[in-house]
Amino acid sequence: MARHRGVDVNAATRRVRDRDGCWYRAENVVVSEAGLYYYRDFPGGTLFSRNEKWLLPGPGWVVNRFNFLPHVPDPLDWYIEPDAVLVDGAVWRVRDAFFDLEVYEGRHYRLRDADEFADGLAAQEMTLTEALVALRSLQRLCEALRRHDFSGKALLEEFAVDLPP
């Protein structure tokens, strides 16, 4: 599977170029020492109506919380990606590292897409350095989630203290 385009957020213009390559309005953009927070509404969405996103360059994580629609069975609470977050002035860039964690608050997490990581590495879609950074970021994330009893909320309290909860 090919690496997705990543995400670019322009904090100055409050616009986000999402994985589909299109630009959208980002709401409630907050920039702090810890990272960047924003949300996007999805009117007419089939699975969720809003996606909140925390970009945390220090640990190299992108934390997502979706407002799932009532018909979605057993929705996850948090979707966390150990991705590279690069800041260039007002522009925040997320570089996909393939891995994803689905977090069920206070219960467990599920690792997704390790096979995509392996395929991407084999296809040279990432450098060895990028792969090592992604693996170390994933390890820190898993350790932090276990330390916080699988709580995305507690994770944000530690790593995004000055961003909206």
Q: What are the pLDDT digits (tens) for 135-153?
A: 999 999 999 999 999 999 9
State mean pLDDT over 52-67: 98
| For residue 130, pLDDT beyond 90 | yes
Q: Does domain 7-159 have CATH number 2.40.380.10?
A: yes
pLDDT at 1: 43
Q: Taking a C-beta distance cutoff of 8 angstroms, is the pair 145, 109 a contact?
A: yes
Q: What are the pLDDT digits (tens) for 89-100?
A: 999 999 999 999
State mean pLDDT over 95-113: 96
Q: Look up the pTM and report it.
A: 0.95
pLDDT at 113: 95
Q: pLDDT class for 5, splitting at 50, 70, 90?
A: confident
DSSP for the chain, written as a single string: -PPP--EEEETTTTEEE-TTS-EEEPEEEEE-SS-EEEEEE-TT-SSEEEEEEEEETTTTEEEEEEEE-TTSSS--SEEEE--EEEEETTEEEEE--S-EEEEETTTEEEEE-HHHHHHHHHTTSS-HHHHHHHHHHHHHHHHHHHHTTT-HHHHHHHH-TTS--
Q: Taking a C-beta distance cutoff of 8 angstroms, is the pair 134, 117 a contact?
A: yes
